Amino acid sequence: MLFCSFEFLFLFLPLTWAGYYLLGRRAGGRAAKVWLTAASFFFYAWWDVSLLLVIGSSMVVNYAMLWLLERDGGKESRLRKSAVAFGVLFNLGLLGYYKYAMFIVNNVMRLTESEFVLQGIILPLGISFFTFQQIGCLVDIYRQRRGKMYPVLDYLLFVTFFPQLIAGPIVSHAEMMPQFDEPGVTKLNGINLASGLHLFAVGLYKKLVFADFLAVWVTNGWGLSAPSFSQAWFTMIVYTFQIYFDFSGYSDMAIGLARMFNIKLPQNFNSPLRSASIQEFWRRWHITLGTFLTYYVYVPLGGNRKGKVRTYINLAIVFLVCGVWHGASWLFVMWGVINSVAVLAQRFWNERGFRMPRVLGWCCTFLLLIPAQICAYYKADWTTAMRMLDGLFSKPEFSMFRISLITHPDSYPLLYVLGAAVLVLCFPNAAGRIDRFRATKFGVAFTAFMLVVSVFHIVRVGPFIYFNF
C-alpha cells in the first residue's frame, strides 16, 4: 500500500489514526498499541500476505536472541556471545538470501560457464530496513552487558511501525521504544497533528508533483540508444532531482505520519544537494543509514583510532557496504567505489590544509554526483550505463530539439528543472522545521493546497525508487 494511494489516504490512514486515539482514550495505551501493531501488519501484508512469514520469522528469531541476552547476566558469557553472533548471522543470512542470492549464484554460474540460473526469489519489501534495525537492537543490548527485555508488543510495534517500515528512516530501539510508553502518547495532540500533516503534505507533493513528473523524462532519456551530450546531462540532472524528491518525499511522509501518532522519527535528509563537498553530502543524505554504518561498521572496524592508513581502509569498506546495501549488482559496487574514492580524496585534500570557495566546492560535488548516479539508476545495466556515460563525455553541444525528444513538446523542461533547483537549493528544509511549524492561516492554507494538488496527481503515481533498494 503506497502512501500516495487512494486506499491509504482515504481508508487506511483515517481508520488507523481514529482507532488509535479512540482506543487510547477508552481502553488505554496497550489497546492502542495493539491496534497500531495490527494495522502495521495489515499495511505490510497488503502487497503479499506471504511476506508476513518473512518478517514474522525474523522477529521471532531476533526476539528469542534478546531473551537469551536478558536471561544470562554474565558480561562476557558464552551464551551472550553465541546469542548475538547467531542473531547477526541470521539477519545477514536472511538479507543475503533474498537480496543477494540470485546475484551471487548467477555470477558464479557465469564464471563457471554453467547454464543454471537462479530465479524466482522475490525481494520482500523493507527487508534491508527492518533487518538493520533489529541488528542494531541486538548489538546495542549486547554491548550494554545487561540485556533489557522489551515487552513483545513493544518490540513488534518497533519493527512493524508502518510509517517507517518499508523505506525508513532506520530507527534505533533506544530512541523509538520509550516513546510508546510516554504519558499522553495516545492522547490527541493538536500541535503534533498539524505539524505532522504539514510535513506529510510536503512529502506527498514532492513525490507526486515533482518526482513522478520528472520520472517520465528520466525513463525516456535512459531509453535512448545513443544519448547526445545535452540529452545525457539533462537526463542525469533530472534523475538527481527525481531520486532526491522521491526518497526525501517518502521520508518526509514517514516522519509526518509518525508525528500524527505522537511519535518522533529522526530526520533523514538535510538539503543534501546544497553540499559543498562529498563528505558534507553524505552527512546530509540518508542520514540514518550513515549513522547506522558509522556505529555498526566503521567504529567496530577501528574507526580513526588505528592510524591514517587504517582509517582510509575503514572508510572504503563502509562505502563498499553502502553500495552493496543499495543493490545486488556490480553497478552498485562501482557506485560504492566511486564514492569511497571521492571521500578519501577529499579527506586527503583537507588533511593537507587545502580549501576551496564554497561555490566552487558545490559545483565540483554536483558534477561528481551526476556520473556516479549512473551506477545508482535502478533499471540500468552495464550496457545502458555505458551508453549514458558515453553521452556525458561526448562532444559538447546544447540542443533543445534533442532534449524535446525526451520531454513532451508542450512542456517547459528547463523551466521545470530550474524550478526544482530553486526549491532544493533555496527553500528551507521542511523536515528540519517540523518542531517550529504552527497552524497559522497561511500554514493551514498551504498544507491544504499541497494535499489537494497532490490528490489530483495520484492517477499517475509511480513506485518509490527506494523500494528497489
Taking the C-alpha atoms of residue 138 and residue 128, their distance in angstroms, rounded to an integer, is 16
Taking the C-alpha atoms of residue 240 and residue 326, their distance in angstroms, rounded to an integer, is 16
* Alpha-carbon dihedral sign for residues 44, 50, 54, 60: positive
Task: Kindly give, in sequence order, each residue whose CB lies less than 8 Å from that of residue 466, ignoring residues fewer than 6 positions away.
Answer: 167, 168, 246, 247, 250
173 classed as catalytic: no
Residues 18/464, Cβ–Cβ less than 8 Å = no
In DSSP notation, 310-369 reads HHHHHHHHHHHHHHHHH-SSHHHHHHHHHHHHHHHHHHHHHHTT----HHHHHHHHHHHH
Taking the C-alpha atoms of residue 99 and residue 332, their distance in angstroms, rounded to an integer, is 13
Place of cell 508525528: 259
Closest CA to 258 of 206, 209, 185: 185
Rg (CA), the chain: 23
In DSSP notation, 437-454 reads ----HHHHHHHHHHHHHH
Catalytic residue among 173, 198, 286, 326: 326
The residues that are catalytic are 326
